[in-house]
């Protein structure tokens, strides 16, 4: 992050930025993963903002590219809130499911985790290890169990035990995109025989840059996404992908992951995000 700090500090010093300065800013925005459409939109918005400070204009232009939708967790009006965590393998689904469960328990909520990525034993073990470490129960089946049956079992448990949240980790790698989407659809239908799914959160690895935007588009076409968890913002991520996703798809980023530990997880804050990007 902070890739375009240099041009920003230059703009700060000049109350009247030149065309070349704005071009330089546009290149810097491209370098930060905003993508060409958004980079040019931000520059033209910034140029039209009526303020003496170019820095302030850029800040406002970046902020206005972010979604205005609520970033609060959509809680079920009554009964348990079920959260489905989806995404491509390696993006951080299992880690984020555990972190989210931990975040909720730290707010004094009762939470159950479900290991519905049943294709690899390692994936189930990984969530079980998190569960032990965080002292959160994890519902799981045998290796290769039907993911929908694990999810169904977990849904029945949260209803019966009056647990307020169920966080379900799902598989990311299937033979084809259609298989994956069919399976997610089935998991959802089966859960909804018991309780409504309140959130479908897509996990995006910020270090994958524009590729993350492509993944988000593919998922958004097939699944009703309610929010995004943007992971690995601590790494080499240039971070602008958050803006690209929100401005193009209008899906709010609700959480960010900033490391491998349970505490490295927080609600997405647009203002501090834009400030750190700058
Ligand atoms: N640095 C960093 N690593 C992360 C973050 N989230 C997940 N990881 C790491 O990314 C790798 C893949 O995560 P995992 O949860 O297994 O991904 P999954 O395949 O989508 O379930 C693991 O090594 C995680 O520790 C994050 O926010 N920051
Ligand atoms: Mg996983």
**What does the CA dihedral 215, 218, 222, 223 come to, rounded to 10 degrees?**
20
Is the alpha carbon torsion for 248, 251, 252, 256 positive or negative?
Answer: negative
- 180 C-alpha to center of ligand 2: Å? 14
39, 21, 41, 22: which is closest to 30 by C-alpha? 39
Phi, then psi, of 197 in degrees rounded to 5:
-85, 120
- CATH number for 5-64: choose from 1.10.3470, 1.10.3210, 1.10.10, 1.20.120: 1.20.120
99 ligand 1 Cβ < 6 A: no
Kindly indicate the confidence band of residue 50, based on its pLDDT and cuts at 50, 70 and 90: confident
Of the listed ranges 27-36, 147-156, 236-245, the one predicted with least confidence: 236-245
DSSP 152-189: HHHHHHHHHTT-SEEEEEE----SSHHHHHHHHHHHHH
What does the pLDDT average to over 237-261?
91
Mutate which of 88, 117, 260 for ligand 1? The one with the most ligand atoms within 8 Å of its CB, which is 260
Question: Which residue has its alpha carbon closest to ligand 1 atom 6?
Answer: 92
- 81 with 164: CB under 8 angstroms? yes
What is 81-277's CATH number?
3.40.50.300
Contact between 166 and 158 (Cβ < 8 Å): yes
Angstrom distance (rounded) from CA 201 to CA 223: 10
DSSP state for residue 110 in the 8-state scheme: -
Report the candidate in 70, 120, 129, 67 with the shortest Cα–Cα distance to residue 97. 129
Q: How many angstroms separate the Cα of 242 from the Cα of each of 35, 252, 269? A: 11, 9, 11
Q: How far is the CA of 111 from the centre of ligand 1 (A)?
A: 21
Give tens-digit pLDDT for 186-242: 999 999 999 999 999 999 999 988 888 899 999 998 889 999 999 999 877 678 888
Nearest atom in ligand 1 to the alpha carbon of residue 203 is 20
Ligand nearest 124 Cα, by number? 2
> Which ligand 1 atom is the nearest neighbour of the CA of 89?
19
H/E run at residue 82: strand 81-86
φ/ψ of 112, rounded to 5, equals -125, 140
Determine the residue of 87, 88, 95 to mutate for testing ligand 1's pocket, defined as the one with the most ligand atoms within 8 A of the Cβ atom: 95
Domain residue ranges of the chain, discontinuous segments joined by +: 5-64, 81-277
**Does the beta carbon of 232 sit less than 6 angstroms from any atom of ligand 1?**
yes
Cα(155)–Cα(277) distance, rounded to whole angstroms?
A: 39
The most distant pair of C-alpha atoms in the chain lies apart, rounded to whole Å, by 65
| 260 C-beta closer than 6 A to ligand 1 | yes
Strand order from edge to edge, sheet including 227-231: 138-139, 111-116, 165-170, 81-86, 197-205, 227-231, 253-257, 265-267
Kindly give the pairing relationship between strand 253-257 and strand 265-267: antiparallel
74 CA to middle of ligand 1, Å? 24
The string of pLDDT tens digits covering residues 77-129 is: 999 999 999 999 999 999 999 999 999 999 999 999 999 999 888 889 999 99
Could you tell me whether strands 227-231 and 253-257 are parallel, antiparallel, or unpaired per DSSP bridges?
A: parallel
Q: Is the CB of 231 under 6 A from ligand 1?
A: yes
Nearest C-alpha neighbor of 79 from the set 169, 170, 200, 192:
192
Do the domains 81-277 and 5-64 match in fold? no
- On the question of pLDDT at 1 being above 50, the answer is no
Question: Across all residues in the chain, what is the average pLDDT?
Answer: 90
Distance 77 CA to ligand 1 centre (A): 31
Centroid of ligand 2 to alpha carbon of 162 (angstroms)? 26
Distance 110 CA to ligand 2 centre (A): 22
Whether the CB of 120 sits within 6 Å of ligand 1: no
Note if the pTM is more than 0.85.
yes
């Amino acid at each position: 992050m902070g890739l375009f700090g240099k041009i920003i500090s230059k703009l700060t010093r000049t109350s009247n930025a030149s065309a070349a300065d704005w071009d330089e800013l546009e290149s810097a925005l491209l370098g930060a993963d905003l993508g060409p459409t958004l980079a040019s939109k931000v520059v033209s918005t910034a140029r039209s903002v009526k303020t003496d400070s170019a820095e302030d204009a850029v800040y406002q232009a970046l902020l206005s590219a972010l979604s205005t939708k609520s970033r609060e967790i959509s809680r079920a009006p009554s009964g348990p809130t079920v959260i489905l965590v989806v995404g491509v393998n390696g993006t951080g689904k299992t880690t984020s499911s555990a972190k989210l469960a931990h975040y909720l328990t730290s707010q004094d909520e009762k939470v159950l985790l479900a290991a519905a990525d049943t294709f690899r034993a390692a994936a189930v073990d990984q969530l079980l290890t998190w569960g032990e470490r965080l002292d959160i129960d994890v519902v799981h089946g045998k290796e290769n169990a039907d993911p929908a049956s694990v999810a169904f079992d977990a849904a029945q448990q949260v209803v019966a035990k009056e647990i307020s949240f169920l966080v379900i980790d799902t598989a990311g790698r299937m033979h084809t995109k259609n298989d994956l989407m069919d399976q997610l659809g089935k998991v959802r239908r089966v859960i909804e025989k018991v309780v409504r799914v309140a959130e479908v959160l897509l996990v995006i690895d910020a270090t994958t840059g524009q590729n993350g935007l492509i993944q988000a588009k593919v998922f958004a076409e097939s699944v009703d996404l309610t929010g995004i968890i943007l992971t690995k913002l601590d790494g080499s991520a240039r971070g602008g992908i958050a803006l690209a996703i929100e401005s193009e798809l209008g899906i709010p980023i609700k959480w960010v992951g900033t490391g491998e530990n349970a505490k490295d997880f927080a609600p997405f804050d647009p203002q501090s995000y834009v400030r750190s990007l700058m």
